[in-house]
Amino acid sequence: MKITIKHIGEMAGVSAAAVSKALNGHSDISEETKTRILEICKQVGYTRNEIARNLAKGKSNMIGLLIPDISSPIYSEVFKGLDIQAREHGYCLFLCDTNRDIELEKKYVRTLMEKRVSGIIVAPVSNSVDHIEEITRNSIPIVYIGGKVNDNMGNYVTVDNFYGSKTAVDYLIKLGHREIYMVCDRDNTKTMADRIKGYETVMQENNCNPVVYVDGAGRKWRESGYFQTKHILSLGKIPSAIFCSSDMVAIGVMEAVLEKGLRVPEDISIVGYDDAAFASLPTINLTTIAQPKFEMGKKTFNLLYKIIKSHNSDYKNREIVKPELVIRGTCIQLKGN
Amino acid sequence: MKITIKHIGEMAGVSAAAVSKALNGHSDISEETKTRILEICKQVGYTRNEIARNLAKGKSNMIGLLIPDISSPIYSEVFKGLDIQAREHGYCLFLCDTNRDIELEKKYVRTLMEKRVSGIIVAPVSNSVDHIEEITRNSIPIVYIGGKVNDNMGNYVTVDNFYGSKTAVDYLIKLGHREIYMVCDRDNTKTMADRIKGYETVMQENNCNPVVYVDGAGRKWRESGYFQTKHILSLGKIPSAIFCSSDMVAIGVMEAVLEKGLRVPEDISIVGYDDAAFASLPTINLTTIAQPKFEMGKKTFNLLYKIIKSHNSDYKNREIVKPELVIRGTCIQLKGN
DNA sequence: CTGAAAGCGCTAACAT
DNA sequence: ATGTTAGCGCTTTCAG
């Protein structure tokens, strides 16, 4: 039998209400009784019941977080940024790993509603979020994040992929490269489209011929980079640089390049995208575009917080953050420049 | 104003109790009214209130999970194993990232108690867990996991580090190596002690001289592997193989070896420990000992579940799982064998 | 089969 | 400054 404020009240010779006030630091209670009550709580090891508390207050100070895969390093960093910010504002994050499964995503949204969370942050599994809004019916603030974000979603924070891509290719151009290919894995998101657009824009600005490979075989990540590059290298004409749609793709690209007996960066320069955890490992040392993951986490929480506080559940609070070039060892200055 | 079972009751012309029964699939209600009630719930978009429900039932079907750092790949895999198992048994995981901070760990334990979770799984930040047991006071089942586990903890599931280490060194011996060093970073856990013991045991069994470097400068991970190896290589005598206390250490070791102009595995074979996510990357391709992370997650939940169900909060339910050698490309068969 | 009533532990007016 | 009284929304005996 757990001990309640009523018990504490009896022990202290006061009412339960008084105990509640003491516990919550209300002002309408004398310092003296307050300390006495608190003392007793400590002594008997009282632990307040959040469940009852939340019911009485009609809220839960929890924020639901839907993530496609927490073992993906990018999301775990975002999580940490969110977490620290949430704690600072007295909220708890409730993490749900949707495992890239729409059904599970729906199930979790329902769970979160039942738990009466104050808001939801979701990195959606798919480009459309109709299935989740159908459940929430506008009854709770939602902020979207992640690679699937697009303008059909209401509130979101995302990163400027067009800008990131431009930065990467600009850098390559500055290094004297002109034959720069882009290789992408299969991913029909706005994120990907923007990255490609950024690449094409810079190429055209510099009168270079854009060559983008998008995986037609439906492969993803490293596998996609590997096989596409194998194909490219078999064609005879070798680009001086390859810009990859992600670091995982870059890994596959490097693999194929090395296998062919070519060197990185001496023969081919490579730029990735994401700044995944492994990108900084010595034997990889990949030059790449860094997503400000931790920052994004913070910004996202702050945006949600603002919406919650303003009770303005209405649409289109958006924030776009800028990524950054991280120069490591996979690019080389072209001779004669 | 949220809609409650009372409202539903009114609409259906029944009592709130009846609605509750329908919602929970109790048998003492006619099929007919039940379907009518459920129909209405669907139509008006009723979402049951878990908070009230939990209060009434006196429990929360949540399991607290304390992890030092969710961005560490090993923990995120464990999480996923736990998660899937928890879901299957109708529980929710409540993840708390303690950020390797004892104070935060304590704070979260308190939070979990307040939330009346059914049990706690903790990968502790430190070798001692007194600070957490002081808070829980045996009032809730706890299972410990992770690298800090030792016999001072009650219930735990861990992996057989002695065995894992033996397996690694046995493999090296079989490959014809006799001059095998072990390099460890700073980490005074039982885990580390067991790994060292396993190494020493096999070396002695084979009449080889064990040489273990433990970082005296207090460095960790890659940095530790790097500097210690640099030192080793400066000594003139080069071992034919290095067994590392972790994959991160192995990365540092490789870095130093490569920097010295030596090749892996032609000049020096390397074995890691953990099978971190990056170990399988093409340019790393590290032979290592794999922790059955996902499996461990499952086993851990099952153990906790057993304890919860048996109401036997008493001590020393333990499970030890066996790691496995993963052969990749950083070891070579010695000539003349 | 159905409903009335009590209560889970706490908070928040509203008295006193 | 303190206590009284109602709930919060649901579950659960216990009658009918």
* Chain A residues lying within 8 Å of B60, measured CB to CB: 51
Say which residue the tokens 């690019």 belong to: A331
The three-point CA angle B270-B276-B281 to 5° equals 75
Q: Please determine, for residue B337, whether its predicted confidence score (pLDDT) is greater than 80.
A: no
Please tell me which residue, A119 or A1, carries the higher pLDDT value.
A119
Instruction: Record the pTM.
Output: 0.93
pLDDT at B321: 96
Residue type, A280: S
Find which nucleotide's C1' atom is closest to B29's CA: C1
Ranges assigned E (strand) in chain A? 62-67, 92-97, 119-122, 142-144, 156-159, 180-184, 211-214, 241-244, 269-271, 288-290, 318-321, 324-326
What gap in Å lies between CA A155 and CA A160, rounded to an integer? 16
Q: Determine the nucleotide nearest to A12 by Cα–C1' distance.
A: D2
Interchain pair B71, A80: CB under 8 A: yes
Is 60 exceeded by the pLDDT of residue A120? yes
Q: Residues B212-229: pLDDT tens digits?
A: 999 999 999 999 999 999
Burial label, A124 (beta-carbon count in 10 A; 0-12, 13-18, 19+): buried
Q: Do B279 and B226 fall into the same domain? A: yes
Residue A315 placed within a domain:
yes
Q: Where are the alpha helices (DSSP H) in A185-276?
A: 190-205, 221-234, 247-259
B324's enclosing H/E stretch is: strand B324-326
CA of A15 to C1' of D3 (A): 6
State which amino acid sits at residue B113. M
Average pLDDT across chain A, whole number? 95
Average the pLDDT over B168-192 and give the result.
97
Q: How far is A201 from chain B (nearest CA, A)?
A: 32
Q: Are both B207 and B302 inside the same structural domain? A: no
Which strand D bases fall within 7 angstroms of a protein CB? 1-5, 7-13
What is the average per-residue pLDDT within B173-184? 98
- Given a cut of 90, is residue B74 above it in pLDDT? no
User: Of all residues in chain B, what percent carry a pLDDT higher than 90?
Assistant: 90
Nearest CB among B47, B99, B281 relative to A278 is that of B281
Model confidence at B136: pLDDT above 60: yes
Tell me whether residues A99 and B80 touch, CB distance under 8 A.
yes
Confidence of residue B313 (pLDDT cuts 50, 70, 90): low
- pLDDT interval class at A323 (50, 70, 90): very high
Cβ burial, residue A309 (10 Å; 0-12/13-18/19+) = exposed
Q: At residue B329, does pLDDT exceed 60?
A: yes
Residues B165 and B252 in one domain: yes
Range of the domain at A175: 161-291
CA neighbor of B119 nearest in space, from B105, B138, B96, B140: B140
**pLDDT of A36 above 90:** yes
Asked whether residue B235 is assigned to any structural domain, the reply reads: yes
CATH of residue A29: 1.10.260.40
Q: Provide, as residue numbers in chain A, all residues whose Cβ is less than 8 Å from the Cβ of B115.
A: 50-51
Measure B91 CA to D9 C1' (Å): 21
Whose CA is closest to A76, among B277, B71, B82?
A: B71
Compute chain A's Rg from CA coordinates: 26
Residue B311: what pLDDT?
A: 76
Does residue B153 lie in a domain region?
yes
In this predicted structure, the answer to whether residue A311 has a pLDDT above a threshold of 80 is: no
- Give domain status of residue B170, yes or no: yes
Q: Are residues B199 and B315 in the same domain?
A: no
- The β-bridge relationship of strands B92-97 and B62-67 is parallel
Same domain membership, residue B151 and residue B197: no
Record: contact B111-A92, CB cut-off 8 A: yes
pLDDT at A336 (0 to 100): 64
Write the pLDDT tens digit of every residue in A180-220: 999 999 999 999 999 999 999 999 999 999 999 999 999 99
Distance B117 CA to C13 C1' (A): 31
Quick check: B116 and B308 in contact, CB under 8 A? Answer: no
| CA B258 / C1′ C13 distance in Å | 74
What's the DSSP call for residue A209? -
What is the pLDDT at residue B47?
Answer: 96
**Residues A256, A229 contacting (CB under 8 angstroms):** yes
Which pLDDT belongs to residue A328? Answer: 98
Q: What is the mean pLDDT of residues B2-21?
A: 94
> Is strand C in 7 Å reach of the CB of B114?
no
Calpha distance B322→B162 (Å, rounded)? 10
Lowest-pLDDT range, A19-28, B11-20, B67-76, B131-140? Answer: B67-76
pLDDT at position A32 is 92
CATH number of residue A136's parent domain: 3.40.50.2300
Q: Report the gap between the CA of B146 and the closest CA in chain A (Å).
A: 17
CA A58 to chain centre: 30
Residues in B touching A116 (Cβ below 8 Å) = 49-51
Neighbouring CB atoms inside 10 A of B1's CB total 4
**Same domain for A287 and A297:** no
List of chain A residues whose C-beta atoms are within 8 Å of the C-beta of residue B71: 73, 76-77, 79-80, 277
pLDDT average, residue stretch B150-172: 97
Q: Count how many domains chain A has.
A: 3
Asked if A73 lies within 8 A of B71 by C-beta distance, the reply is yes
Residue B258 domain flag: yes
Contacts of A114 in chain B (CB under 8 A): 47-50
